[in-house]
């Protein structure tokens, strides 16, 4: 896979900036005669508790064996770690932090938190959240294990300034990429969202958003169209976050909201292309109540209607 030279340049510039920032944030390490690698070893020893060996540190941290040996000898001479021989294999030694080592690590982390606090203090709260979200995204993309933890996903029911624009952007860009829809689909999405916002009434309408940090990564809405029926719209989960139950959670929230608002039926309009979504609808009790073939959004599509009775 080729890499855009502009992306390479941006990553290189970020690396240069990060290195200078790291020097600032890690000054407290030098005060304790520790390197960044030594700090990583301390943290890993705490994480592994009583089952950590030198071999495991080398494998997990990608650290040179000779360099690690010097670090461990320094730790041992300063009573930061203790060694314990395995009862099953006399050649294996387990390493663990001593109380002194744990206290040092606690002090180092407190110092780091204070330095980060000073760095971010003049930054507005909204930009702090944006920064944290961007850093989480960097870790996610470059991680060897790029799986999202479902516990990192939060949900909210309110629309805030900027949400509508982002939801429309997400729909326009993702449906163009994944389904081949043209600009007419984004125009349709903008038009229906504009009509929704103009007539929004919390007694009959509800929007649910899935969030990763401060970023919207999923959406769904129920819009009251009559005294008895509500329409489900804008159901979408970003592809990076699919497969961990976000779609089911959004769908459940929407169905429960429709019940709370005493609607008798939910209906939705989709296309036969949306195989995964329609499978989820059927799993939750929706049935197909109609279809028609028509040119839409630059393609010949089969529009499908699904509905579910709530009483």
Q: Kindly report the CATH number assigned to the domain that includes residue 203.
A: 3.40.630.30
In a domain, 289, yes or no: yes
Clarify whether residues 159 and 88 are in a common domain: no
Clarify whether residues 159 and 117 are in a common domain: no
Residues 6 or more apart in contact with residue 142 via CB below 8 angstroms = none
Tokens in use for 24? Answer: 């600032």
In a domain, 282, yes or no: yes
Clarify whether residues 77 and 206 are in a common domain: no
Say what the pLDDT of residue 308 is.
Answer: 95
Clarify whether residues 118 and 161 are in a common domain: no
Clarify whether residues 86 and 21 are in a common domain: yes
How far apart CA 242 and CA 2 sit, in angstroms, is 25
Clarify whether residues 239 and 192 are in a common domain: yes
- Per-residue pLDDT band for 1 (boundaries 50, 70, 90) equals low
Closest to 55 measured CA to CA, from 47, 65, 46: 65
How many structural domains comprise the chain? 2
Clarify whether residues 114 and 166 are in a common domain: no
Looking at beta carbons, which pairs linking 103-108 to residues 24 or more positions away fall under 8 Å? 104/32, 104/42, 104/80, 105/39, 105/42, 105/43, 105/46, 107/32, 108/28, 108/29, 108/32, 108/34, 108/39, 108/42
> pLDDT tens digits for 142-198?
775 556 778 888 999 888 888 999 999 999 999 999 999 999 999 999 999 999 999
Clarify whether residues 103 and 186 are in a common domain: no
CATH number of residue 15's parent domain: 1.10.10.10
Please give the residue range of the domain that contains residue 54: 5-122
For residue 201, is pLDDT > 70? yes
> pLDDT tens digits for 266-294?
999 999 999 999 999 999 999 999 999 99
Clarify whether residues 177 and 279 are in a common domain: yes
Clarify whether residues 305 and 201 are in a common domain: yes
Say what the pLDDT of residue 208 is.
Answer: 95
In a domain, 130, yes or no: no
> pLDDT tens digits for 89-117?
767 888 888 899 889 888 888 888 888 88
- Per-residue pLDDT band for 210 (boundaries 50, 70, 90) equals very high
> pLDDT tens digits for 38-62?
888 888 888 876 678 888 888 888 8
Clarify whether residues 157 and 304 are in a common domain: yes
Tell me the chain's radius of gyration from C-alpha atoms: 27
In a domain, 168, yes or no: yes
In a domain, 81, yes or no: yes
In a domain, 138, yes or no: no
Q: Are residues 281 and 269 in contact, defined by beta-carbon separation less than 8 angstroms?
A: no
Clarify whether residues 189 and 254 are in a common domain: yes
For residue 243, is pLDDT > 70? yes
Say what the pLDDT of residue 145 is.
Answer: 55
Residue where a domain stops, chosen among 101, 122, 143? 122
How far apart CA 311 and CA 265 sit, in angstroms, is 8
For residue 295, is pLDDT > 60? yes
Q: What is the pTM of this model?
A: 0.63
pLDDT, mean over the chain:
87
In a domain, 139, yes or no: no
- Per-residue pLDDT band for 7 (boundaries 50, 70, 90) equals confident
């Amino acid at each position: 896979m080729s890499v855009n030279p502009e992306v390479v340049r941006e990553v290189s510039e970020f690396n240069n900036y990060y290195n200078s920032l790291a020097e600032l944030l890690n000054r407290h390490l030098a005060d304790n005669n520790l390197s960044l690698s030594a700090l990583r070893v301390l943290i890993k020893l705490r994480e592994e508790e009583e089952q950590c060996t030198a071999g495991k540190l080398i494998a997990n941290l990608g650290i040179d064996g000779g360099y690690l040996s010097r670090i461990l000898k320094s730790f041992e001479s300063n009573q930061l770690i203790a060694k314990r021989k395995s009862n099953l294999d006399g050649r294996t030694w387990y390493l663990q932090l001593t109380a002194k080592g744990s206290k040092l690590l606690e002090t180092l982390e407190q110092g780091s938190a204070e330095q980060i606090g000073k760095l971010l203090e003049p930054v507005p709260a909204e930009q702090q959240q944006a920064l944290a979200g961007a850093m989480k995204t960097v870790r996610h993309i470059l991680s060897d294990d790029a799986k999202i933890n479902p516990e990192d996903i939060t949900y909210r029911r309110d629309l805030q300034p900027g949400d509508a624009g982002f939801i429309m952007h997400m729909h326009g860009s993702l449906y163009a990429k994944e389904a081949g829809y043209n600009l007419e689909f984004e125009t349709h999405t903008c038009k229906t969202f504009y009509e929704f916002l103009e007539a929004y009434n919390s007694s009959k309408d509800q929007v649910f958003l899935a969030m990763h940090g401060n970023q919207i990564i999923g959406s769904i809405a129920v819009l009251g169209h009559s005294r008895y029926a509500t329409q489900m719209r804008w159901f979408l989960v970003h592809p990076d976050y699919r497969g961990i139950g976000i779609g089911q959670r959004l769908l459940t929230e929407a169905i429960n909201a429709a019940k709370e608002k005493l609607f008798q039926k939910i209906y939705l309009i989709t296309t036969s292309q949306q195989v995964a979504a329609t499978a989820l609808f059927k799993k939750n009790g929706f049935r197909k109540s109609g279809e028609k073939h028509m040119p839409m959004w630059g393609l010949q599509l089969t529009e499908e209607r699904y509905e579910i009775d709530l009483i």
